[in-house]
Amino acid sequence: MTTRFSAGIHGWLLLLPAAALLAAFTHFPAVATLVQSFRSSPKPNRPAAFVGLDNYRTLVEDPVFWQSAWNNVWYALGTIPLSIALALAMALAVNRGLRGRAFLRMAYFTPTVLPMIAVANIWLFFFTPQYGLLEQVTGLFGAPSHNWLGSPSTALACVIAVAVWKEAGFFMIFYLAALQQIPPVYAEAAAIEGASRWTYFRRIVFPLLMPTTLFVLVNAVINSFRLVDHIFVMTRGGPDNATSLVLFYLYEVGFKFWDTAYAAALTMVLLVVLGGIAIAQFGLLERRIHYR
């Protein structure tokens, strides 16, 4: 009994430092955000006061918020499936031992090591009308010039493309690690059975990769709300908020307008969305977490 008791104390002591930091910088701010979202922003002549749902009313009536939210939905729908599919394709290509696989692997992975804020400037050049790289290529085929980042119809797609470019290589590593752990006997058995490579992939490889896909999916979802660095350089949310995402708008409200209370309400939106997704995904993930 005493040993169990002391084991309990030891357990908590081991956990304590990490738990304290997590509480201070994750749990406390999450709760504080909720409290702040019911107050007004302090001004020199007007201290913060309880305003009830005022910030949420502003939020519901704020067209820029709604546009950012919708943009974020499209951003998620664009980046998540594309980056996962490409990551899987890359992993399969590298795993197959094509000629120059070292180069392929390096090429796919470089975006992970390059700072987004720096490459965003380079992408800005790629998308520049007329003499930008994209235009130099499309120009060869006689396509008319297009203002990629300056048109609401294409700006978000460009921003999505950059995010996919950034993420796919990172996810590839996880798939690659998983692929290399699939026992070769499966492939041999499939070959004896005369199954096509596609069948083998669909019936054997893909199901075996399912846990990895889930793991990557969680990361992709989080990133679709988190990855806004390139927007600071490429569009600053423009044209006319066409590329404003919720976190980017939150930054503007919180640190350009200094309306911290409204920023808290915006943060709550992200917290609720991510919390909801977390509950859904942890339900699915439960098995995986305990499967060892």
Partner 1 sequence: MTRTARGAAFAEGLETAGAWLLAVLWILPLAYAAWTAFHPPEFSTRFALDAPLTLQNFANAWAAAPFARYFVNTVALAAMVLAVQLVLGTLAGYAFARYEFAGREIAFWLVLVQLMITPDILVVENYRTMSGLGIVDTVPAIGLPYMASAFGIFLLRQTFKTVPRELDEAARVEGAGGLATLWKVYVPLAKPVYIAWGLVSVSFQWNNFLWPLVITNSVESRPLTVGLQVFSSTDQGIDWSIICAATLITAAPLLVAFLLFQRQFVQSFMRAGIR
Partner 2 sequence: MRRIVRALAVAAALAAGAAQAQTAEISFYYPVAVGGPITKIIDGLAADFQKENPGIKVTPIYAGTYQETIVKALTAHKSGSPPVTSVLLSTDMFTLIDEDAVIAVSDLANSAEDQAWLKGFYPAFMYNSQTGGKVWGVPFQRSTIVLYWNKEAFKEAGLDPNRPPATWAEMVEYAQKLTKRDAAGNVTQWGVQVPSSGFPYWLFQGFTTQNGVELMNPAGTETYFDKPEVVEALQFWVDLSRKHRVMAPGVIEWGTTPRDFFERKTAMMWTTTGNLTNVRNNAKFDFGVAMLPANKRRGSPTGGGNFYIFKKSTPEQQQAALKFIRWITAPQRAAQWGIDTGYVAVTPAAWETPVMKKHVEGFPAAAVARDQLQYAVAELSTHENQRVTKALNDGLQAALTGAKAPADALRDAQREAERILRPFRR
Q: Name the segment binding partner 2 (CB under 8 A); options: 10-18, 110-118, 123-131, 205-213.
A: 123-131
150 lies in the site for partner 2, by CB under 8 A: yes
How many angstroms separate the CA atoms of 198 and 227, rounded? 34
* Packing angle of the helix pair 152-179, 210-226 (nearest 10 deg): 150
> CA quadruple 153, 158, 164, 167: dihedral positive or negative?
negative
| Binder among 29, 104, 134, 147 for partner 2 (CB under 8 A) | 147
112 lies in the site for partner 2, by CB under 8 A: no
283 lies in the site for partner 2, by CB under 8 A: no
Q: Name the segment binding partner 2 (CB under 8 A); options: 83-91, 92-100, 101-109, 149-157.
A: 149-157
> Out of partner 2, partner 1, none, which partner does residue 256 contact, by CB within 5 to 8 A per kind?
partner 2
145 lies in the site for partner 2, by CB under 8 A: yes
How many angstroms separate the CA atoms of 54 and 228, rounded? 27
Q: Name the segment binding partner 2 (CB under 8 A); options: 15-23, 254-262, 267-275, 276-284.
A: 254-262
Side-chain half-sphere of 13: how many Cα atoms within 13 Å?
6
Task: Give least dist CB 225 to partner 2, A.
Answer: 22
Query: In the window 64-93, what residues touch partner 2 (CB under 8 A)?
Result: 64
How many angstroms separate the CA atoms of 236 and 250, rounded? 13
29 lies in the site for partner 2, by CB under 8 A: no
| Binder among 29, 111, 129, 211 for partner 2 (CB under 8 A) | 129
183 lies in the site for partner 2, by CB under 8 A: no
- In the block, residue with structure tokens 């859904």: 280
> Out of partner 1, partner 2, none, which partner does residue 218 contact, by CB within 5 to 8 A per kind?
partner 1
Give me the residues that bind partner 2 (CB under 8 A), please. Answer: 43-45, 64, 124, 128-131, 139, 142, 144-145, 147, 149-152, 235-236, 238-242, 252, 255-257
